[in-house]
Amino acid sequence: MRQVCSQASVEGFIGGTAVLPCSSEQRQLTVQDITVRWRHNGLDVLEIIDGTVAKAQDPAYRNRAQSIPEQYKNGNFSIKLRDLQDRDSGKYTCYIIQDSIIRNVKLNIEARTSRQIGNQGTKPSPDIPVMIFSILCGGFAFSLANSATGIFIHHLVSVPSPDK
């Protein structure tokens, strides 16, 4: 019996990173009994055999797709795909062999915008009020530092010397 779950959808950005979810309802799995296959367009994205990531992997995904072995025993076989490219768009299928489960994940890749930073996906720009507050606080702190220094220097200059 095969169980096909509804398709999940994940957004990613060119050059960024995306996590493709795949999990089993069964918990406390024996690591040695785990076999999971991730596929995309007929290519081997990542394969876990007897709890170990197999070396047989399509070159397009080598050094870009990784799983979290510590999570296998909890039934989590999600993968992280980094350095996303246009060709990474589309349907990914995760086969959990022991449970006869097929999970589909649709990865949508978008072009970068000015609000994205490096390999971290998206980061919202700071809101204008936050930026203004930061500038005001910084100016206030600078003003206090200068005031304190000015008072200190003023007292040094106005202290009469013992010779007079």
User: Going by C-beta distance under 8 Å and a sequence separation of 6 or more, which residues neighbour residue 110?
Assistant: 11, 12, 13, 14
Instruction: Specify which of 27-36, 87-96, 113-122 reaches the highest per-range mean pLDDT.
Output: 87-96
Q: Which CATH number fits domain 3-110: 2.60.40.290, 3.40.50.720, 3.90.550.10, 2.60.40.10?
A: 2.60.40.10
Q: Give per-residue pLDDT as tens, 109-133.
A: 998 765 555 544 444 334 444 333 3
Q: Tell me how far apart the terminal alpha carbons of the chain are, to the nearest angstrom.
A: 104
pLDDT of 159 > 50? The answer is no
pLDDT of 104 > 60? The answer is yes
- The pair of structure tokens assigned to 31 is 């690591």
pLDDT on residue 163 = 58
pLDDT on residue 114 = 57
pLDDT on residue 149 = 43
User: Going by C-beta distance under 8 Å and a sequence separation of 6 or more, which residues neighbour residue 106?
Assistant: 7, 8, 9, 10, 90, 91, 92
Q: Give per-residue pLDDT as tens, 68-83.
A: 999 988 889 999 999 9
pLDDT on residue 147 = 43
The pLDDT > 90 percentage for the chain reads 45
